[in-house]
Structure 1
Amino acid sequence: MEHKVVFSSDIHGNETQYAKLCDYTEREDAQTLIIGGDIAPKGMPVCDFIQGQRDFLRGRFRRFFERLKSRRPDINIFIIMGNDDVAVNLDVLEEVDPELFRVIHGVRARINEKYEIVGYPYVPITHVRLKDWDKFDVAQYPEGFRQAEIDKKNEWNLRALKSVKRRRGLMPWPLFSTYFEFESSTLNPADAEKDSIERDLANPVFTERAGKTVYVMHAPPYGTNLDQAGVGYHVGSVAERMFIEREQPHVTLHGHIHGTVKRSGDFRNRIGDTMSLCSGNRPIGNDLALVTFALAHPEAAQRLII
C-alpha cells in the first residue's frame, strides 16, 4: 500500500482552509500531513499580534488536529513555522503532545521504516518587518549566483523602531494618536560568516541520509518555479539551492511565495534527481491549494485546489 502524503503551507490562520485540509486528509486516508509554515493569522493590530497568534495556536489551531487525530489516530502530522509566525510563540507548539503533531525545526523524525523528515523555518532576509525567521543566506555568493547578491542587497535596508509617542489631539474631547518614529539601518553582510542558512544546512541533522529524507523548508530554492514573487528577480534561497544540488534529497517541500505557481505555471522544479514542490497556497479566500503524492514517488505529485 502506498504511503500517501498531503502538504500545504501559508494558510495564515484561514480556518476554512484548515478545515478543508484536515477533511481532505481524512477523506483520502493519507498517512502523513505536513504543514510548511506561516500557520498563524497576521491581520491584527501590531499591539495584538503576539497574543493574537498565541491564542490561535493554543486554541482553534490545535483543535483542527485533535479532531483529525480522533478519526485517524495513526496519522503523522508535522509542522514548521514560517516568517510571518512570531517565534516567541514556538513554546505553544512545543508544549503539545508529540502524538498530536511534531514540530520539526532542525529536528529529524521518522515517517516510516524507510523515510525520515526534517524541517527548516528560516528564509533569506526579506523586506517584511517581522524578522524572527530571517537570516543571511550565504557567507559568499559563488559564481553563478552573482545576480542574486545584487538583487538581495535591496532587502538589507531596514527601518528600525526608534520610539512610540502618544499625543493628545485638539478636539474638545480626549483623543490620542499614536506616532511611530523609525530610523534607517543597513545589515552588515560580514555577519553572514557567523550565522546563515548555508551554515545551518551544513549541520549533520540536514546532511545525513538525504536520499531518504523529506525536507520541509519554508523558503523555496533560488532560481526555480517556486520563488517568483513578481518583484523582477528570484527571491529564493541560494543556500538551499546549493544544498539540494549537492545532497540530492528525496524530496523538498516549500512555501513562502503565495503567487509563484500562478507566475511560473508549475508547482514543481527538478534539481538533479530531486523534486522540489510547493503548494502555492493563497490564504485570501476559501480555496485551498495542496500537494499530494505517494511518499516513494514524489515525482508523480499532484497539486489540487479544493
Structure 2
Amino acid sequence: MMNLLEQLKQYSVVVADTGDIDAIRQFAPEDATTNPSIILNSVKSGSYDHILMSIVDSVRQKKLPTEEAIASISDQLIVAMGIEILECIPGRVSTEVDARLSYDTAASIAKARHLVSLYEQAGISRSRILIKLAATWEGIKAAQILESEGIQCNLTLIFGFAQARACAEAGVFLISPFVGRILDWYRREYPETDYLPEDEPGVQSVKQIFHYYRELGYPTLVMGASFRNTGEIVALAGCDRLTINPALLSQLQSLEGGLHPALSASAGNVMNVEQTIDPLTEAQFRQQMQDDVMASEMLASGISGFEADQVQLEQLITTCLLSESSA
C-alpha cells in the first residue's frame, strides 16, 4: 500500500516548504517555497556558506557603500538558493520580495523585476519562478502589474476572504492561505474550543476559497500553507497545491491508510455564488479586512515576523562582509 504522501501526490501538487536540499531530494516534491524565515534558517545551518562567501567576495570587489552591498548580497543569496533548489525539483521555486516593501506597490514591483533579472542572468527562465508578495492591497496591485509582464506571483499571508477575492480579481497565478496560523489565532482567542482537523477554521477557509474560485471559474491556484498537523493536510487533499515542511512530509511518508480527495473542482454549486460581481474596490477591501479582526491581525504580524527575519539575515550578512573586509 502506498503511504499517505504518495497518495497525496495523486490529488494535489506537493510543494516543499523548505530550503533544505537534502529534504527536497528525499521527498521529491514538484515545487518548493522559500520565505525570509526559511532563508535565515538555511543560512544559519551553514549549508549555504560556500554560496554566501562567494557572493560576499564578489560584491566586496565592487567597493559599494555598505548598505548597497548588503542589499546586493541579500538579493543574490536569495536567488542563488532558489537556483540550488531548482536543480532538485522539476517545477518552480517561490522567491519572496522583502516584506518591508509590503505596503509599497512601486518598490515591490522594482524588487520583483530585479530578482527575476538575477534569475534570468543565471539562465533560469521566469517560467520556473513565482514571486512571493504579501497579500496587502499594495502587494496585490503589484502582482497584477507583474502578471501582465509574464512574472507569475504567489500571494502569501492569506488569512481573509477579501484577500483571496482581490487576488483572483487581479489575475494572480497562485495564493497561499495560511491554515495553521489561523488555527493559532483561534486557539489563543478561544482556548476552551477543540477542533477536529477537518473543522479547523483554517481548513474551512481554504475550502471556502477553493470552491469560490472554481464556481466562478477563476484560474488562480490555491496552495494551502502553514500546516500544524497531518490531519489538516489530509482534510485538504485535492487542493491545487499544498506546501508542507519536512517534518510533516516525513510523517506523511511514514503513515499508511486510505486517502481520498476532500476537495474537488467538480463539487460545484455549494456556495451559490453570483456570477456578476464587481471587483472589490480599495475602500471595500480595507473595510472588509478591518472587519475581519483575525485576518488583519495575522497579516500584520506575519509581515512583521518576515521583516524581523530579513533584518536578522542582513545582520549576518553584515558580519560576514565586515569580517571579510578585515581579512
TM-score exceeds 0.5: no
TM-score scaled to structure 1, two decimals? 0.40
TM-score by structure 2 length?
0.38
Q: Which structure has greater helix proportion?
A: 2
- As a proportion of its length, which structure holds more strand? 1
Select the structure with the greater relative contact order (CA < 8 A; seq sep ≥ 6).
Answer: 2
